[in-house]
Amino acid sequence: MDKPEAEPEADASAASPAPYRLDDQVGHLLRRANQRHLAIYGRAIQELTPMQFATLAKLHEAGALSQNALGRLTAMDAATIKGVVDRLRKSGQVQTENDKTDRRRTIVSLTPEGRALVESLFARAHDVSRETLSPLDATEQAMFLHLLRKMI
Amino acid sequence: MDKPEAEPEADASAASPAPYRLDDQVGHLLRRANQRHLAIYGRAIQELTPMQFATLAKLHEAGALSQNALGRLTAMDAATIKGVVDRLRKSGQVQTENDKTDRRRTIVSLTPEGRALVESLFARAHDVSRETLSPLDATEQAMFLHLLRKMI
DNA sequence: CCCTTTTTGTTGGCATGCAAACGGATTTTG
DNA sequence: CAAAATCCGTTTGCATGCCAACAAAAAGGG
């Protein structure tokens, strides 16, 4: 080697294969953004966990659903949605019944208490979304949401 | 508008408080984007979990660190980084020692195996970041990363 | 109609992720 | 310097989150 490391940083375009910096990786930034959002949620809403709220909100939006369908619409796999539904049922926010036509299915629906609770939280939930996006101005927020959707 | 709530549903711009649709919430989109990224990671790298890789990458980047400092730099709380370090130590990727000047601290550092492993994964890790951003064109990627940072 | 495939839900196992409560060490402050 | 405030690391407890393996039921195909 005549001069493998004569100018370690001189020519960034050829020699060094771009150092791996954690803080530059999309995955790390996405994780931190999500972390921040969960912290904002936690400060605003203590009645339900984020996923429990998402579950009730989706049931409120779409009506009764099979457990697996509910999982798909909330982006939780079958094993995860099961735990969430179990806990919501235990706390009386949802109820389950057997599907008459498909004996594999368990239909999940809101109880009156669950409906009342989720409706009482919508305003604060909107605030959470607003606060999460607050570092960006209106134009940036629209752009960010657009890019986020495009990436999914 | 002179009559804010005269017609509850008639005028969408005034009356209805904007329905809460899960798929429109930043938090949900961030979670799904992160989920997608983790799936891409999982397909590309099986040797280490995402957080184990992040931990080794940060140690590679910053050198030996106290356990808590390592947690801060990787955005994991004290309880979480402990588990990650424990598992990495068990698998021989990192080692720990007592800090001579501060008896509270545990210094975490890469073992030769850990260093070799993480270095062998950098290329694939870069691919993961690239693939995660691939739905966006170059301009959009830059914009997205910019907005993501601004939001954190 | 039978066989194969798919779908639904469950379970076990492992890895985050965070709050709260602690004990011990160090730093800050009055 | 001594008390108070912090910081370090640990433990417990609970809630995701996902994989792999299963059993039962339904759907599809030949």
Q: Convert the pLDDT of each residue in B28-76 to its tens digit.
A: 999 999 999 999 999 999 999 999 999 999 999 999 999 999 999 999 9
- Asked if strand C comes closer than 7 Å to B102 Cβ, the answer is yes
Q: What is the average pLDDT value for chain B, to the nearest integer?
A: 91
Which CATH entry fits the domain spanning A50-151: 2.30.31.20, 1.10.10.10, 3.40.50.150, 1.20.1250.20?
Answer: 1.10.10.10
Closest listed residue to residue A37, CA positions, set A152, A135, A137: A135
- The pLDDT score that the predictor gives to residue B3 is 45
- The pLDDT score that the predictor gives to residue B2 is 45
Please indicate if any CB of chain B lies within 8 Å of the CB of A125. Answer: yes
Residue B114 backbone dihedrals phi, psi, to 5 degrees: -60, -40
CATH class of residue range B50-122:
mainly alpha
Closest approach of A105 to chain B, Cα-based (Å): 23
- Asked if strand C comes closer than 7 Å to A66 Cβ, the answer is yes
Chain B residue nearest residue A140, CA to CA: B147
Chain B residue nearest residue A37, CA to CA: B27
CA–CA dist B132, B38 (Å, integer): 9
pLDDT per residue, tens digit, chain A (152 aa), is 444 444 444 444 556 677 999 999 999 999 999 999 999 999 999 999 999 999 999 999 999 999 999 999 999 999 999 999 999 999 999 999 999 999 999 999 999 999 999 999 999 999 999 999 999 999 999 999 999 999 99
Q: Convert the pLDDT of each residue in B115-141 to its tens digit.
A: 999 999 999 999 999 999 999 999 999
Whether residue A84 contacts residue A52, with contact meaning beta carbons closer than 8 Å, is answered with yes
pLDDT of residue B17 exceeding 90: no
Percent of chain B at pLDDT exceeding 70? 89
CA–CA dist A92, A113 (Å, integer): 7
Taking an 8 Å cut-off on Cβ atoms, the answer to whether A29 and B152 are in contact is: yes
Please indicate if any CB of chain A lies within 8 Å of the CB of B53. Answer: no
The torsion angle over the Cα atoms of residues A4, B110, B60 and B80, rounded to 10 degrees, is 170
Q: Which nucleotides of D are covered by protein (CB under 7 A)?
A: 7-13, 15-21, 24-27
Tell the residue number behind the tokens 């979304």, with chain if given: A129
